[in-house]
Amino acid sequence: MQVRDYLIRRLVLLPFIMLGVSVVVFTLTRFTGSPVGIYATPNMTPDEVAALEARYLLDQPIPVQYAAWLGGLLRGDLGWSGVSVAPVTAVIGDKMTATLELALAAAIIAILGGIALGTIAGVRRNKGPDHMARLFSILGASTPTFWFGLLLLVPFYLWLDWFPLGRSTTEIWNSIGHPTGLYTLDAILAGSPAALLDALRHLVLPATVLAFGAMAIIVRMMRSSMVEALSEEYVDAARSKGLPEGVVIKRHARRNALVPTITVIGLSFGFLLQGSVAVELIFRWPGLGQWVTSAILSGDQATIMSYVLVTAVIFMTVNLAVDIAYAYLDRRVVLGG
């Protein structure tokens, strides 16, 4: 079972790669010398500073410091977030679900839109829709997310006032329970149309902006695999059986074209995660991205590093899931390396 072996190899390697990420992140925190400056105040005596160093093990060799830090990490201690004035673990959950909700909404838009647009472009190759799709995907790859966000913010928020900033209207948010932390899902679970509408009104604009870059990648891949699939013999065979063109495209060509497209969906999720930083900043979305930008501006290392760790874990998980999906969809694929 080649697929199973490959997945087992991936699963075995995963903790080692995560360990590698933790080394990288730890190295970053020690890049600019001892972080004692974060805790020390100007009127401390040298003795007090030394006591601080001893308390945070900063007088120990680097490997000992790393071991202590990793130990804390494994016990769920990510340090103190200066910007949130709370332990990182106490606040990171809410930020993470906020970002995940935004990224998942954007992923849905990007995947459905990308597959639809890519299919049409592939079928109507070198015609109007194909040129439009090409223009769309090259603009998606060239437009900075933050600028596109500002471009949409002005008409839809400032002039028309269709969509509000932030994630929710406080009273409506407080009127329902939040078992999952995903506002849209919680609203459906609570059976509250008002809350669902509120969630969607806040979500539409940032999710659309975020989806643009990822959708550009998916459109492009879907188009080229659609062109390839349509030139295959099984498509000719299906046509010669007298099947209607719609069935040939949907059941035969598109289904096969989807397989290679899945590989770029994992990649584009990375774009969604990194794009969320600027999008959250512009639309005041209270997620990881907004959290980390405020941490950067105030030099809050624990928050920055927790953010990098959490993002890496999310990204690796998504990529593993995509690989599993790909492996099961296309048994012909030779995995490895």
Partner 1 sequence: MSNFTAAAAIDESKQSVMSVKWTRRKEVAREVFSNPLTVLGMVIIGAFFLMALLAPLLTEPNQPDAYQSPRDWANIDSPPGIDGHVLGTDSQGGDVLYGIIWGSRLSLQLSLTVVGFTLVFGAIIGSVAAMRGGRLDNFLMRLVDVFLSIPELIFALAIAAVLGPSFRNIILALAAVFWVKYARIIRGEIIRIKQAEYVAAARVTGDSTWNIYRKDVLPNAVTPLVVQATLDMGNVVLIGATLSFIGLAQAGLTEWGAMVSAGQSGLLAGEWWVSTFAGLAIVLWALAFNLVGDGLRDVLDPKTEGR
Binding site for partner 1 (CB under 8 A): 13, 16-18, 20-21, 24-25, 28-29, 31-32, 138-139, 141-147, 150-151, 153-154, 158, 217, 220-221, 224-225, 260, 264, 270-271, 273-274, 277-278, 281, 292-293, 295-297, 299, 301, 304-305, 307-308, 311-312, 315-316, 319, 337
Shortest distance in whole angstroms from residue 13 CB to partner 1: 7
**Between residues 113 and 183, which has the closer beta carbon with respect to partner 1?**
113
Shortest distance in whole angstroms from residue 310 CB to partner 1: 10
Q: Cα–Cα distance between 296 and 133 in angstroms, integer?
A: 37
Shortest distance in whole angstroms from residue 112 CB to partner 1: 18
**Between residues 60 and 263, which has the closer beta carbon with respect to partner 1?**
263
Shortest distance in whole angstroms from residue 21 CB to partner 1: 6
Residue among 44, 43, 38 at smallest CA distance from 56: 38
β-bridge partners, 87 = 80
β-bridge partners, 81 = 86
Shortest distance in whole angstroms from residue 194 CB to partner 1: 28
The number of residues in the chain equals 337
Shortest distance in whole angstroms from residue 139 CB to partner 1: 7
**Between residues 91 and 312, which has the closer beta carbon with respect to partner 1?**
312
34: number of Cβ within 10 Å: 14
**Between residues 128 and 299, which has the closer beta carbon with respect to partner 1?**
299
Distances (CA, A) of 292 to 50, 84, 129, 255: 30, 11, 40, 40
Distances (CA, A) of 238 to 22, 121, 224, 241: 52, 21, 20, 5
**Between residues 195 and 273, which has the closer beta carbon with respect to partner 1?**
273
Whether the Cβ atoms of residue 155 and residue 224 lie closer than 8 Å to each other? no
**Between residues 176 and 295, which has the closer beta carbon with respect to partner 1?**
295
Shortest distance in whole angstroms from residue 304 CB to partner 1: 5
Q: Cα–Cα distance between 198 and 164 in angstroms, integer?
A: 9
Shortest distance in whole angstroms from residue 100 CB to partner 1: 15
**Between residues 89 and 293, which has the closer beta carbon with respect to partner 1?**
293
Shortest distance in whole angstroms from residue 266 CB to partner 1: 11
**Between residues 2 and 317, which has the closer beta carbon with respect to partner 1?**
317
**Between residues 86 and 151, which has the closer beta carbon with respect to partner 1?**
151
